[in-house]
Amino acid sequence: MPLDQARHHALPPEEVVPFSDDASGASGVIVLHSTALGPAAGGCRLWHYASDQQATQDALRLAEGMALKNALADLPFGGGKAVLRLPEGPFDREALFRSLGGVVRSLRGRYVTAEDVGTGVADMEVVAQETHHVAGLPPRGGKPGGDPSPWTALGVAQAMQVAVRHRLGASLSDVTVGVQGLGHVGYALCELLHDMGARLVVAEPRSEIAARAADRFGAMVMSSRALLSARVDVLAPCALGGVLDAATVDGLKAQLVCGAANNQLASEDVAERLAGRGVLYAPDFLVNAGGIVNVAGEYLGWGAAEVRQRVMAIGRRLADTLARAERDGVVPHQAARAIALDRIAAAPRVQAAA
Ligand code: NAD
């Protein structure tokens, strides 16, 4: 696909599956954005949403992101996402995830679920009592499995290394990285960056976790808002999405943004705004694919060595994407989208339908 078309070419989702179950209190939606390259794979988010419409909007956005991410990572998967609305007040968590498992089962392998924000390994074990189409389960016999976050962090660190070399002509031991959010991925990323010699500045609302990072990594702690305009070389958003809007971008002092959070751009035009200010934005759906690579390895039965090799390839993939962006005169975000959309469009089922 020509790069100038890629920006506007948002594919419509193949299927939107709303569900609700009064008995368990489960309410949410599964979006199958695309199954052209294989089953729609993407985790389940459990989060507060003011309305069903808001939950669906989030699922649509996240599922499209998964389709792009899986295609770009060269996985035999389409893209999908489940969103569960966090019930008001106390609820039976096991019943909630059993209910989700039933909906996943009804899709007969067209959707594969795993963890995302708000869900964990124990939840996926409940889902697994209802369906085989789930990953992120405890690893068995040295095989891939379990919490995908360390793999996501490894992929981000690989990409950051490449981006720092490309944009600053430096290595990680020369730079200061601001990590926003010290959850599963952010904290693991800090460990890797600290080991690679980077200086760290962190923001995390759970003060005990921030204090631990200060203690273990010598990290400077600041508020999340202050971090967005702090004098750091690299900003690594690792909390929720939408963090890069026009105002944030105008205040950025970092020359590079490379982090794990999904959908970091509040809107697509922010990619150009970042470039206009001389900030290299490493596309989120390219750099944060390590977790889904591990999920794929678990679901498809790969060995740990293959998972590691594919996660380590994220750095090279970013280098290739940066080269293509420069060659074609577009921002890396658009180059990455175009590569992913080309792969989806070239899938045999899409050709057969055309
Ligand atoms: P998490 O819930 O474990 O961590 C999020 C952290 O961000 C928490 O510690 C939370 O307290 C903190 N936080 C919340 N609001 C904040 C704010 N305003 N400023 C700073 N910190 C804030 O989630 P996670 O699994 O670490 O995922 C982080 C991001 O990476 C999410 O956007 C997720 O979708 C994305 N992601 C995760 C994976 C994975 O393998 N877990 C894979 C790909 C993408």
| Closest ligand 1 atom number to CA of residue 147 | 40
| Closest ligand 1 atom number to CA of residue 206 | 11
Bridge partners of 17, per DSSP, are 30
CA 204 – ligand 1 centroid, Å: 10
Q: Specify burial of residue 8 (Cβ count, 10 A radius: 0-12, 13-18, 19+).
A: exposed
Give pLDDT, residue 10: 61
Amino acid identity, position 8:
H
CA 289 – ligand 1 centroid, Å: 14
Site of tokens 């793999």? 151
* Nearest C-alpha neighbor of 213 from the set 236, 231, 241: 236
Give the orientation angle of helix 184-195 with respect to helix 149-168, to 10 degrees. Answer: 50
User: What token pair was written down for 236?
Assistant: 């690594």
Reduce the DSSP state of residue 104 to 3 states and report it.
helix
In degrees, rounded to 5, the angle at the alpha carbon of residue 223 between the alpha carbons of residues 221 and 229 is 100
* Nearest C-alpha neighbor of 174 from the set 203, 145, 199: 199
Amino acid identity, position 1:
M
Q: Using the 8-state DSSP alphabet, how is residue 318 labeled?
A: H
CA 180 – ligand 1 centroid, Å: 9
Phi/psi region, residue 109 (left: phi>0; alpha: psi -120 to 50; beta: rest), is left
Bridge partners of 257, per DSSP, are 235, 281
| CA–CA separation, 196 and 319 (whole Å) | 19
Per-residue pLDDT tens over the stretch 186-196: 999 999 999 99
| Closest ligand 1 atom number to CA of residue 224 | 19
Strands (E), the chain: 15-21, 26-34, 40-41, 44-47, 78-85, 111-112, 176-180, 199-203, 220-221, 234-237, 256-257, 280-281
Residues annotated as part of the active site: 81
Task: Pick the residue whose CA is nearest to atom 21 on ligand 1.
Answer: 181
CA 184 – ligand 1 centroid, Å: 7
Tell how far CA 72 is from the center of its chain. Answer: 12
Question: Which residue out of 75, 116, 179 has the highest number of ligand 1 atoms within 8 Å of its CB and is therefore the one to mutate?
Answer: 116
Per-residue pLDDT tens over the stretch 197-233: 999 999 999 999 999 999 999 999 999 999 999 999 9
CA 264 – ligand 1 centroid, Å: 12
Task: Pick the residue whose CA is nearest to atom 27 on ligand 1.
Answer: 185
Phi/psi region, residue 186 (left: phi>0; alpha: psi -120 to 50; beta: rest), is alpha
| Ligand 1 binding pocket, CB closer than 6 Å | 116-117, 148-149, 152, 180-186, 203-206, 224, 238-241, 260-262, 288, 291
Q: Using the 8-state DSSP alphabet, how is residue 266 labeled?
A: S
**Ordered per-residue pLDDT tens for the chain, 354 residues:** 433 334 444 678 999 999 999 999 999 999 999 999 999 999 999 999 999 999 999 999 899 999 999 999 999 999 999 999 999 989 999 999 999 999 999 999 999 999 888 999 999 999 999 999 999 999 888 788 888 899 999 999 999 999 999 999 999 999 999 999 999 999 999 999 999 999 999 999 999 999 999 999 999 999 999 999 999 999 999 998 899 999 999 999 999 999 999 889 999 999 999 999 999 999 999 999 999 999 999 999 999 999 999 999 999 999 999 999 999 999 999 999 999 999 999 987 544 333
How many distinct helices (H) and strands (E) make up the chain? 15, 12
| Closest ligand 1 atom number to CA of residue 243 | 18
